Amino acid sequence: MSNFRQDFIHFAVRQNVLCFGQFQTKAGRLSPYFFNAGLFNDGAALRSLSQFYAQAILASELPFDMLFGPAYKGIPLVAGTAIALAEQGRNVPYCYNRKEAKDHGEGGATVGARLEGRVLIIDDVISAGTSVRESIEMIRAAGAQPCGVVIALDRMERGQGELSAAQEVRRNYGIPVVSIATLDDLLGYLQGKADMVQNLVAAQSYRDYYGVKND
C-alpha cells in the first residue's frame, strides 16, 4: 500500500471530511462512514488535497495531456491539481466547463485551455456517474480523448447492479478510474486504531454486504 493513501485517510479524518457513525446514503443504505469532500474548504486543506491528487495521478502512470474539471466541485480541484503537478515538474494545461454556455466575451462552454489530446477528468467522487458522462460527452465533442477519471475516495460498493460506480465507468466508457484512496484503505486505517474497533467491525460488515470484488 502506497503511503500517500494512508496519509490521505488520516488527513480526511483530521479535517472531519471523513466521519464515522451511521449515515443514510442516497441509495437508502445505512453507511458506517460519511465522506464530504466539500469540507476541504480552506486554502491549506485545498493545497494538501491537490497534492494528494497529484500523487495519485503520478503513481497511476496514466498517459495524459491535460486536465478537465466538471463544474462546480471540479473547478477548484482541477486548478489545485494542475498547480500541484507543476510543483512536481509536470506542467499541464487545464480547463473546466460552465453550467451554461457564454454567448459574449470569449464565449463557449469551457474556460481555460482548449480541450485537445488525452484529457484526464478530476472530480471528487462518482455516485450516479452523471458528471462523468457529461464530461466525456463534452470532451469527445471537442475532438479530444477522455483517458481517465481521478477521484478522492472509491467507496467500492455496488450501485443498482453488481458493479460499483467506478467499475461502471470502466465498463461503459473503457477508461480507468484512479482514486486517491479506497474503502479498503479506510479499513486498513481502522485496523491500526484500538479505539475504533466498533467502526472497523461496522465498516467491514458494510463492505461484506454491499461491496464489490477488487478489479
CATH number at 195 reads 3.40.50.2020
**Residue of 26, 99, 104, 213 with catalytic role:** 104
Residue 215 counted as domain residue: no
Total tally of structural domains belonging to the chain = 1
Residue 183 counted as domain residue: yes
CA distances from 100 to 37, 96, 107, 158, 190 (A): 24, 12, 10, 32, 43
CA distance 75 to 91: 17
Take residue 51 and report the three cell numbers written for it.
497534492
Instruction: Assign 121 to helix, strand or coil.
Output: strand
Residue 202 counted as domain residue: yes
Residue 47 counted as domain residue: yes
Residue 174 counted as domain residue: yes
The pTM for the full model equals 0.91
**Residue of 26, 102, 193, 213 with catalytic role:** 102
**Domain range enclosing 130:** 3-210
The pLDDT tens digits along the chain (215 residues) read 458 999 999 999 999 999 999 999 877 889 999 999 989 999 999 999 999 999 999 999 999 999 999 998 999 999 999 999 999 999 999 999 987 655 544 546 899 999 999 999 999 988 767 788 999 999 999 999 999 999 999 999 987 788 998 999 999 999 999 999 999 999 999 998 899 999 999 999 999 999 997 76
Pick from 142, 136, 122, 158: which is nearest to 25 by CA? 158
Residue 77 counted as domain residue: yes
Q: Please confirm, yes or no, whether 102 is among the known catalytic residues.
A: yes
Q: Please confirm, yes or no, whether 104 is among the known catalytic residues.
A: yes
Classify residue 146 by burial, with Cβ atoms within 10 Å: 0-12, 13-18, 19+: buried
